[in-house]
Amino acid sequence: MESTGIDYPSDLTVQALFERQARNTPSSIAVECGAEQLTYQELNDQADELARRLQGLGATPGVLAGVCIERSAAMIVAVLAS
């Protein structure tokens, strides 16, 4: 079996790596859950919007913010918004 592993920069967060991918392939499908699909751009936009909302509610770096959500594309939005 061919190896598909890749080394990632250790100085970048998952969010930074995702945003890089969103800039490189904005119209490609990033998430598919049932009939719902989100492109990288849509996913990035929704994650940014949720992050701003959480910040408006007082969330700051280093502070835990719980999000209760069922398994869905929205769950990925919440993970990236953190």
Task: Give 7's pLDDT tier (boundaries 50, 70, 90).
Answer: confident
The confidence score (pLDDT) of residue 27 equals: 98
The H or E element that residue 33 is part of is strand 29-33
* Terminal C-alpha separation, the chain: 35
Distance of CA 12 to the CA centre of its chain: 14
The structure tokens 């953190």 sit at: 82
User: pLDDT for 30-71, tens place per residue?
Assistant: 999 999 999 999 999 999 999 999 999 888 888 888 888 899
Distance of CA 66 to the CA centre of its chain: 16
Please tell me the pTM assigned to this model.
Answer: 0.81
Beta pairing partners, 36: 33
The confidence score (pLDDT) of residue 65 equals: 80
